[in-house]
Structure 1
Amino acid sequence: MRTNITTFLALLFTVLSCNLSKALTHHDSSSDPEMQRLLKKLDTVLDKEHIPGLMISIVRKDGILFSGGLGYADLEQKIMVNANTQFHLASVTKFFVAMGIQILISEGRLDLNDRLHDIAPEIPFTNPWESTNPVRIVHLLEHTSGFEDIHVSKMVNIERIPQKGIDAIRSVKSSFTSRWKPGERASYSNPGYNILGYIIEKISKRPWNEFLKLKLLNPLGMQHTTFDLSGNSQVSFAKGYDFSAGIFRPLPLYGPSSNGASSALVSDASDMSRFLHYLLTADENSNVLKPEDLDEMEKVHSTLASKRGLQTGYALGNDLFPNNKKIPLRGHNGKGEGIVSWIFFNRQKGIAYAISANANVNLYPVSRVIEEYLTQDVSAPTLSSVELDGHEIEPMLGYYQFLNPKNERWEFHKRIFGGIRLLSIAGDKLIVDRGHGRIDSLIHMGNKIFRVKGDIIPSVIVGTDDDGRPFFHGYGNGFYRKAPYAPILLQKTLIYLGLIAALLSMIYTVVGIPMALLRKISLMDLCLVLLPSLGMIAFFVSFRLLGKTEAVSKELLTYMNMTSISIFAGMLFLGISVALAAYLLYRRWMKIGKKWIKIALAFNTIFLFYLVVLFAVHGWIGVPVWLM
């Protein structure tokens, strides 16, 4: 009996493999002059952009055009990239997790509008609007829950022991506070997808990665695709690099944060080609998701903008990008330790590609070459416009404040400096000032929906929320609300005055040091400007060190060490130095004879103190980074 079952399963696997092989037509790139020209162009881009190696999958509905790679997966060992070199695709994982959720929905085991609290009350989250605007599954999928992105000390798992179950979710609970009504605006949140992984586990009764293998990877024949939950390096993995000062430096491999459902995917060109081909050819006989399920994944459901008619934005695990000038492409990108990945597709046009480079680079030069090849026979669409109703739009002109940063601590300044102005109406165009001399013409497509000049699809909408307040959604998933400009101008002015005070302190210090050496002024008087100067230098050095560490050595932000202590101490020293300088000025005020010197020192002290208070309130001073 056991032999019969084994024989049957082997036969079944053979039949399925044959069917899959039949469905996938591999074009022989070695005999295709066009493909050879494309690969030569890409090779040139690799040299110019300092990319060690590149994974490439190029697919049309009628077959796989290319599945392989260029360059080196490992520079030290001189290992070349091939069709089976595995790349860590980082946030591309989210598209696969979203498909897992959609599979559960298609099976009737879950619904987009299910409340998170009803499904998993054990998850610790805070939503002040829960009674009227609860966090739902769709909000996690579309990043509209209001949750923050991952905090710096939680970005990686250095213990190389996978986190599981509710403990994995609790490890990133510091991000689980809704900052606005769920469903109003989008803000990218990795921890939201960790929750979705947990929900897959809870409903399917198996680990999320095993569920995806069973329901998605195995049916598609993706035998070389896995989820790296530990961060242990393997020979088949491409090694990530950082290029600086003319040198490629290998970067460490980490385990993903939480349960890995936001970033653990590892795949190769061969498997990604199979996946993309499935997206382009799925029909009613598909054993994964049907076309109507995939259509549903391409809709934006929950944002205020989508409810007013705009469908550009983050949908269920994928985003729509308006930058191609012939056809719109949707997909996802990912960025890990020295590896950057993009996947793009258009199911209606039957084209798709996936690329991954093992360096911290912008993949746009690579994608542009591939998209030119895929769309060479496609004509640019004829674009129309609708004249604006001036009476309707006129009341909506004015200043709009940016309101949806990914992280309130590190991006609080975007609420002050990230705003836009709707300037005027010119026929079918809305003129927008983005600041720093950037003036955009937005072309009206009807119903207050606009496309940016040069784009082929709308990506902007102006409307009013449920309380009648004007809002602007555009420039990615940016959300702006009309606001009085005077308070913003006041904040900007105070910050600029603080920066001027910092610069003046340094100038005074440069002048004061030789004067102190010549005994023209006392050492105590020099300290009035020297202390805040040293504080500002320490702050900027620490902030730069934080950015560099986050880019190439994230593990140093997860525990107390010389680097994390230096970042903490450098930022804290700014507050201490300015406070000491203020105290010294108070003590020496009556001994300063010249009025203009008093005014200059008072100016510096007041506005530097304002900067210190501002930074402290927003967590840039006095908070150990390893505890964030």
Structure 2
Amino acid sequence: MIKSTILILLLFVSNISVAQNSETLDEKLKKAVTNENLTGAVWSTISDDIVTTGAIGLKNADTKEILEKNDRVLIGSVTKTLIATGILRLASQEKLDIETPVYKILPDIPFINPWREDNPVTIRDLLNHTSGIEDSRFWQVFSTESTPSTPLEHIFSKNPSVLKVRNISGTRFSYSNMGYSFLGLIIEKIAQESYETYLDKNLLIPLGMENSTFQFTTQKGVNIDPHLAMGHFDDGTTQENIPMFLRPAGQFTTTARDIGLFARFLMSDGTINGKVFIDKGLLKQMGNPTSTESYKNGLKSGYQFGLSYRDRYGVVGKFHRGNTIGYRATFYLFPEQKKGFFISYNADSEAANYEKFNTIFINHLGITKHEKQKTNGNLASSFKEFDGYYKMNPIRFKMFAYLDLLFNSIKVELENNKLVIKSIQKEDYDLLPLGDNLFRKKDRVKASHVFYKNDNTPMISDGLVTYEKISSFYLGLMWISLILGLVGMMIILFRGFYLLFQKQLFKRNQTITLPFLSIIGLLIPLPFLLNQSFLNLGDFTFANVLLAIVTGFLPLAMILGIRKIWKTKTLTIDTAGTLFILQWTLVLIYWGVFPLRLWY
């Protein structure tokens, strides 16, 4: 009886397992879309040159229209892979040389480059995000002032400081939407027509991508495309596509099948109908960086020609993700196995686990898992000098440099023959030694980090982010400045409200009247900002101007407060609070935070 019961239970469990394993890819994706509360997605897989497509969910949450597999979607920064391919096509036709300094092609738009004589910014640098220029400014991303035909020159001519080169070009990766917008401008210079028109004719049509375009399309107003899926946010609200300033970096409309055809070509020998379309040598370099400091010190991961090397889920591939307002997309290639996948969600959710879908595709395609590279048990004693604090260099956004210093710096500690990386925002993780200066995260299969020195400064890189060692004393001072500034705010606010209730705040000799009012004044723009669309965060609006005024007045109010304290010769806790705030605001001015001008 017991044996029979056990046998029945085993058969039951076995049947459940078979049922689970027999779930189709479409069923698994539908379940994941539902569980992650996403609106919909279109997808394609590539295996042995066969392109398979599908669709899940809704095209428009308002109308409840079903998303079809031939509907068009936006893919955000995956557009960069196509722009890079367009540049490689021009290089294969010998219409440009990717080693050419950009100033020779566009002399009227110069970089502010201290290293120009020996290290000018080249087309290769723009392709590889190693130009040294920052990613973007608020006004270039969050704006409704752009039109589908706004000249690309406007991105750089409005404020030339955006083209300041922060490190020697070619040496370190730093993602830059401006860099890829520059590539669009270079295509226009060479082709003598808009990059959209040129690439539609000379890249998309030869690749068979007849349902795709670089031209602006939307769901409402002009340039309507009835087949374009509506974008969505976390709460289910819809968002139609709007023009962007940095359009070569993220403006592209396509179908799942067309991206499947594109992926198949990237894993080919570069020929179409027996004729070379893109030089095979250039094609094979995509996703295989060769110029950065991290590569020259032994690390193979990084970004090149529109694709990045990616080591996740026990497999190694080439990858690009993208997101734009209302959409997200993932593009993954495994060239050695001639397999890949693409998925674009018409929902830009901050809560969803998009990585879940990658696992589903990788398991479905049967991508070969790699054995983890064996660790070297002995950590050289010389690594003791790498122990300490590190800051990102370069950082993506100039505006956030101060915040990145405080909250994105990391600490490296030697612990039990391994290196431990600690940070405020992320979980701690271990780096296991592989020999020489290479290390591997536990969940990676190959080297993921390299330690090296640049001008005797200890450096760490994973190929996509580079950190340089900084003084713990300096970082500590920055934290003390922040803490004192916040303490000063609390002192002045507490004392100000107390004096207000005592009807003494506006007496003639009161020293903290202006400091108190300036802090309260920081709240004035809030209702206007809340009533303003986030799409206007970078525009010259009343709310944004008001924000600049109140943040600019804060340090001035502290100076006037200190001046009054000096005149009255009164040293109280109010004095300390005002001084604490003053020193902090001066630090914020130094870092370019105050006054907060989002349109600049």
TM-score range, shorter chain: 0.7 to 0.9
RMSD: 3.2
User: 1:458 corresponds to which residue?
Assistant: 447
Letter in 1 for 2:448: S
1:616 pairs with 2:596: no
Alignment check: 8 A CA contact 1:146 1:179 kept: yes
Letter in 2 for 1:242: F
Q: 1:574 aligns with which of 554, 562, 565?
A: 554
1:77 pairs with 2:63: yes
Change (3 A) 1:135 1:541: farther
User: 1:158 corresponds to which residue?
Assistant: 145
Q: 1:327 aligns with which of 315, 328, 341?
A: 315
User: 1:384-423 residue pairs with structure 2 within 5 A?
Assistant: 384-423=374-413
Q: 2:459 aligns with which of 448, 471, 476?
A: 471
Alignment check: 8 A CA contact 1:538 1:573 kept: no
How far, CA to CA, are the matches of 2:251 and 2:356 in structure 1? 27
User: 2:232 corresponds to which residue?
Assistant: 241
Alignment check: 8 A CA contact 2:525 2:543 kept: no
1:251 pairs with 2:239: yes
User: 2:12 corresponds to which residue?
Assistant: none
Alignment check: 8 A CA contact 2:505 2:513 kept: no
How far, CA to CA, are the matches of 1:526 and 1:318 in structure 2? 64
Change (3 A) 1:169 1:34: farther
Change (3 A) 1:96 1:124: same
Q: 1:51 aligns with which of 28, 38, 49?
A: 38
Matched residue SS, 2:248:
coil
1:93 pairs with 2:69: no
Change (3 A) 1:80 1:540: farther
1:565 pairs with 2:545: yes
- The alpha carbon displacement at 1:355 in A equals 1.8
User: 1:20 corresponds to which residue?
Assistant: none
Change (3 A) 1:234 1:585: farther
Q: 1:483 aligns with which of 455, 470, 480?
A: 470
Letter in 2 for 1:401: K
How far, CA to CA, are the matches of 1:566 and 1:84 in structure 2? 46
How far, CA to CA, are the matches of 1:420 and 1:370 in structure 2? 28
- The alpha carbon displacement at 1:257 in A equals 0.8
User: 1:4 corresponds to which residue?
Assistant: none
How far, CA to CA, are the matches of 2:146 and 2:73 in structure 1? 21
Unaligned runs of 5+ in 1: 1-31, 591-597
Q: What's the TM-score once normalised by structure 1's chain length?
A: 0.82
How far, CA to CA, are the matches of 2:31 and 2:515 in structure 1? 49
- The alpha carbon displacement at 1:538 in A equals 4.8
Letter in 2 for 1:187: S
Identity %: 22
Count, aligned residues = 573
How far, CA to CA, are the matches of 1:209 and 1:332 in structure 2? 21
Alignment check: 8 A CA contact 1:512 1:526 kept: no
Letter in 2 for 1:126: I
How far, CA to CA, are the matches of 1:432 and 1:366 in structure 2? 25
Alignment check: 8 A CA contact 2:132 2:168 kept: yes
How far, CA to CA, are the matches of 2:508 and 2:107 in structure 1? 61
User: 1:431 corresponds to which residue?
Assistant: 420
- The alpha carbon displacement at 1:440 in A equals 2.3
Deviates more, 1:197-206 or 1:304-313: 197-206
Alignment check: 8 A CA contact 2:109 2:156 kept: yes
Change (3 A) 1:542 1:132: farther
Change (3 A) 1:192 1:392: same
Deviates more, 1:485-494 or 1:361-370: 361-370
User: 1:593 corresponds to which residue?
Assistant: none
User: 1:228-627 residue pairs with structure 2 within 5 A?
Assistant: 228-229=215-216, 232=222, 233-243=224-234, 247-258=235-246, 260-282=247-269, 285=274, 288-289=277-278, 291-322=280-311, 324-362=312-350, 365-375=353-363, 377-378=366-367, 380-383=369-372, 384-424=374-414, 426-427=416-417, 429-435=418-424, 438-465=427-454, 467-474=455-462, 477-509=464-496, 511-514=498-501, 516=502, 521=504, 523-524=506-507, 532=515, 535-536=518-519, 538-539=521-522, 553-555=534-536, 557-559=538-540, 561-586=541-566, 589-590=569-570, 598-622=571-595, 624-626=597-599
Letter in 1 for 2:68: N
Unaligned runs of 5+ in 2: 1-18
